[in-house]
């Protein structure tokens, strides 16, 4: 066992010492809370908000240094991220309003902001994408995977997603690194926007599809390939498997025959495989 212990010790010497994930989760939860969750009367006070953002800036700067100890630009990275927050907040709030407008089950905007996993996943994507663009990629991935763990919605921080994005239900959605999504796109649970090939040598090329403006993608559809484009104003029905480009104003659907017969007596044998 001693050789095993030595191997583990060497591994810890070789790898970057990273912060405990709960510190990152705490930062994200506090940022999300102050921006979107009206859980404290004190947040109605401008002075309290200023103090809270000062605390968050300190936390973020420490995280940057944890992930990149030799980063002499940590303060500039922090400044860049927090200067981007007004626009990120505006985009995410627009996403929430779009979800509310499209979902007949939503009774208020507060319900979307406070309870919808789809909105949480989108908002955290907005933060992580900004961090990804600042070339803090491991921190961005850690943040996006936190949202994934809480919502079962996986949005890679490298994906490019336009305005007024809506996720309904959301469980099982996968959006890959090089996906491009236009404005006013709505997707449902179980949708995969993925790659046709997972070869490591293709890491630097576009591997995932492009979804143009005003597209709806219904549940459990799979759209694959970096050369695949779904044209604007199209509808992708449930359970579709798509690996090629379709033009604008298309309707794509999976034809599934369901037959109903009288079961007394049933006219033909059925073989069940469990």
pLDDT tier, 207 (very low <50, low <70, confident <90, very high otherwise): very high
pLDDT surpasses 90 at 257: no
What is the structure's pLDDT at 200? 86
Least reliable range by pLDDT among 30-44, 66-80, 157-171, 251-265? 251-265
Entry pTM: 0.90
pLDDT surpasses 60 at 191: yes
What is the structure's pLDDT at 83? 97
pLDDT surpasses 80 at 261: no
What is the structure's pLDDT at 267? 55
What is the structure's pLDDT at 271? 41
Residues near 254 by Cβ (< 8 Å), separated by ≥ 6? 237, 238, 239, 240, 241
Tens-digit pLDDT profile for residues 155-187: 999 999 999 999 999 999 999 999 999 999 999
pLDDT surpasses 50 at 259: yes
Could you tell me the domains of the chain? 19-152 (1.10.3130.10), 159-254 (2.160.10.10)
- 16 token code pair: 């970057």
Nearest C-alpha neighbor of 242 from the set 219, 225, 257, 226: 225
Contact 148, 154 (CB under 8 A): yes
CA–CA dist 82, 259 (Å, integer): 57
Average pLDDT value for residue range 49-65: 95
Residue 190 region by backbone torsions, left for phi larger than 0, else alpha for psi between -120 and 50, else beta = left
What is the structure's pLDDT at 2? 83
- The whole-chain average pLDDT of the chain stands at 91
User: How far from each other are the two terminal CA atoms of the chain, in whole angstroms?
Assistant: 44
What is the structure's pLDDT at 246? 97
Average pLDDT value for residue range 119-142: 97
């Amino acid at each position: 066992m001693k050789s095993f212990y030595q191997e583990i010790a060497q591994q810890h010497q070789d790898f970057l010492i990273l912060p405990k994930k709960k510190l990152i989760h705490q930062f994200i939860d506090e940022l999300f809370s102050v921006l979107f969750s009206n859980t404290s009367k004190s947040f109605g006070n401008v002075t309290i908000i200023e103090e809270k953002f000062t605390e968050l800036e300190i936390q973020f700067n420490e995280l940057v240094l944890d992930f990149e100890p030799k980063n002499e630009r940590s303060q500039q990275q922090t400044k860049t991220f927090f200067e981007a927050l007004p626009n990120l907040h505006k985009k995410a709030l627009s996403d929430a309003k779009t979800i509310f407008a499209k979902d007949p089950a939503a009774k208020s905007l507060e319900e979307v902001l406070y309870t919808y996993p789809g909105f949480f996943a989108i908002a955290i994507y907005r933060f992580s994408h900004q961090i990804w663009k600042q070339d803090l990629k491991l921190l961005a991935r850690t943040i996006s995977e936190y949202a994934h763990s809480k919502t079962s919605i996986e949005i890679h921080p490298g994906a490019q997603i336009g305005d007024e994005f809506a996720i309904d239900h959301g469980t099982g959605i996968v959006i890959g690194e090089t996906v491009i999504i236009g404005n006013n796109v709505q997707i449902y649970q179980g949708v995969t926007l993925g790659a046709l090939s997972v070869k490591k040598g293709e890491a630097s090329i576009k591997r995932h599809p492009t979804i143009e403006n005003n597209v709806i993608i219904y549940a459990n559809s799979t759209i694959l390939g970096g050369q695949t484009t779904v044209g604007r104003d199209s509808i992708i029905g449930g359970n579709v498997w798509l690996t090629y480009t379709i033009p604008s104003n298309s309707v794509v659907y999976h034809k599934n025959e369901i037959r109903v017969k009288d079961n007394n007596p049933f006219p033909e044998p059925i073989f069940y495989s469990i």
